[in-house]
Structure 1
Amino acid sequence: MVRAVPTPLRILAVVFVILTGLILLAPLVVVVGVSVSENQFIAFPPQGFSFKWYEKVLASPEYLSAAATSLQIALLVTLSATVIGGAAAIALHRRQLPFSDVLATFFLSPLVLPTIIYAIGMLMFWSAAFGPVSPITLWIGHTVIALPYVVRTTLAVLAESDPFLEEAARTMGAGRLQRLLFVVVPQCVPGLAAGAFFAFNISFDEAVLSLFLRKPGLTTLPVQIYGQLEFSPDPSVAAVSSIMIALTIVLIVIIDRMLGLSRFAST
């Protein structure tokens, strides 16, 4: 017989959940509040109400150029990480590659490697092997750190997939490519969508790699924000951050409409 949870423990759990939610949401509230302040400096609570900092950001060539660079790189990273990570997850799940366990650990290794160490190593390797860094360097670097998320989410979906569907397709005469495209890949869609979401956000928000692997004239949005905070901080950085928060929310809504958050979160 299962014992009822004691009332004090339930109250403690509720308080813990509420405090966790406040700690997670409070910084976002502060950022949004600062972004609509009339104050010339970063301060909370906001003084007055104005959208002038959003107008400044949307009219700033520096911010717009940095946002365009981040968006282009993030889209490329999302595409490459989803394709490579999805293919690797399928191969690892089927154990058709030699040393599958070692390869699985290898694909997940960027999760435990400090980003700054990888950034320094990537910069030294690329400079010695290929010369000056370029947008391609940034693309490859971001793809490497985004791959584990695609591999992990896709493997999680494949672990719960029905193995007999592919066998049934083979029995009905479907070739290997047909089974892959019409049976295996559709089962991977929730995991691929979740991985693509993480890959886009990780690339768009990545600052450490972008600092080390950028060249003059190639500035991503996080680097632009850091530069603004260092030399002339004002609420415009809060406005940019609020726009990035809104972009994340929009992506979540799109995924909810396409797949449903329950399937997305289950990965």
Structure 2
Amino acid sequence: MASFLIPSWVRLAARIFIVVTVIFLLAPLVVVVGVSFSESQFIAFPPDGLSLRWYQTVLSDTVYTSAFWTSIRIALLVTVSATVLGGAAAIALHRRMLPGSAFLATFFLSPLVLPTIIYAIGMLMFWSAVFGPVSFVTLWIGHTVIAIPYVVRTTLAVLSESDPFLEEAARTMGAGRIQRLLYVVIPQGLPGLGAGAFFAFNISFDEAVLSLFLRKPGLTTLPVQIYGQLEFSPDPSVAAVSTIMIALTVVLILVIDRMLGLQRFAST
């Protein structure tokens, strides 16, 4: 059988497309990072001079630091709750332990297709009518709901490729249900749980729409603070905060690479 030869113009077009895509993805990041080192009082690129003044401003401003730690607290809580609930749901769906597993699998993924602003408005109206004023707990629950689908999806993807005979062998050797769950099922799904936890943290930390609707007075997350700063008095401090957020994501990726390996993580 003669090998199929890709025309040279197709290969050239593919390379050009890849280069253009990379440029469009990285160019905004380059602009944000460049502006964060600007000496100017205004947002401008390329910067007139280089300075760390805006990082010093951000790190010394209690408004930014308070919003940062609020976002960190919520993101960490959401990571734990979404990983536990989403992981448990994925294991139950994988084992077909629940009636209507196919419907439930679709239901758990429904927050991915529901516009965030629609969910935020609905959550605000429901919580206000049933429980009263919104609070930190409201924000935690709201973020958890939109993060769970990512944990379910990544964990199901890993468990679907796991060896079902390992659990059967453990049962044959006398392992109980809890022992099989702790020593067989969870270790098999660990890459998916790790990937889901990574997504849950980032989604919660970067979420602005839900935080805007479900926050109480005095409770401001970092994305909401950035939007407010851009709306009323934009300056390069916004770029400095954004650069710190980018750096945090890079650090998380390095941690994932250290613990699970990027290739194994990406396979989920």
* Same fold? TM cut 0.5: yes
Q: Residue 129 of structure 1 corresponds to which residue in structure 2? A: 130
For residues 233 and 155 of structure 2, the distance between their equivalents in structure 1, rounded to whole angstroms, comes to: 43
For residues 49 and 123 of structure 1, the distance between their equivalents in structure 2, rounded to whole angstroms, comes to: 44
C-alpha deviation, 1:51, in angstroms: 0.4
Q: Residue 253 of structure 2 corresponds to which residue in structure 1? A: 252
Q: Secondary structure at the match of 1:144?
A: helix
Q: Residue 111 of structure 2 corresponds to which residue in structure 1? A: 110
Q: What amino acid is the match of 1:131?
A: G
Q: Residue 8 of structure 2 corresponds to which residue in structure 1? A: 7
Q: Residue 19 of structure 2 corresponds to which residue in structure 1? A: 18
Q: Secondary structure at the match of 1:46?
A: coil
Q: What aligned pairs does 1:140-155 form with structure 2 within 5 A after superposition?
A: 140-155=141-156
Q: Which runs of 5+ in 1 are unaligned?
A: none
| Identity, % of aligned positions | 79
Report the number of matched residues: 267
Q: Residue 88 of structure 2 corresponds to which residue in structure 1? A: 87
Deviates more, 1:136-145 or 1:165-174: 165-174
Q: Which runs of 5+ in 2 are unaligned?
A: none
Q: What aligned pairs does 1:80-229 form with structure 2 within 5 A after superposition?
A: 80-229=81-230
C-alpha deviation, 1:6, in angstroms: 1.4
Indicate yes or no: 2:64 matched with 1:63: yes
C-alpha deviation, 1:4, in angstroms: 1.7
Q: Secondary structure at the match of 1:65?
A: helix
For residues 214 and 71 of structure 1, the distance between their equivalents in structure 2, rounded to whole angstroms, comes to: 15
For residues 42 and 198 of structure 1, the distance between their equivalents in structure 2, rounded to whole angstroms, comes to: 30
Runs of 4+ in structure 1 off by over 6 angstroms are: none
1:211-249 deviation per Cα after TM superposition (whole angstroms, max 9, x unaligned): 000111100000000010011100000000000000000
Q: Residue 242 of structure 1 corresponds to which residue in structure 2? A: 243
Q: What amino acid is the match of 2:134?
A: V
For residues 265 and 117 of structure 1, the distance between their equivalents in structure 2, rounded to whole angstroms, comes to: 31
C-alpha deviation, 1:13, in angstroms: 0.9
For residues 207 and 27 of structure 1, the distance between their equivalents in structure 2, rounded to whole angstroms, comes to: 19
C-alpha deviation, 1:189, in angstroms: 0.7
Q: Secondary structure at the match of 1:241?
A: helix
1:182-211 deviation per Cα after TM superposition (whole angstroms, max 9, x unaligned): 000001110000000000000000000000
For residues 80 and 218 of structure 2, the distance between their equivalents in structure 1, rounded to whole angstroms, comes to: 24
Q: Give the TM-score taking structure 2 as reference length.
A: 0.99
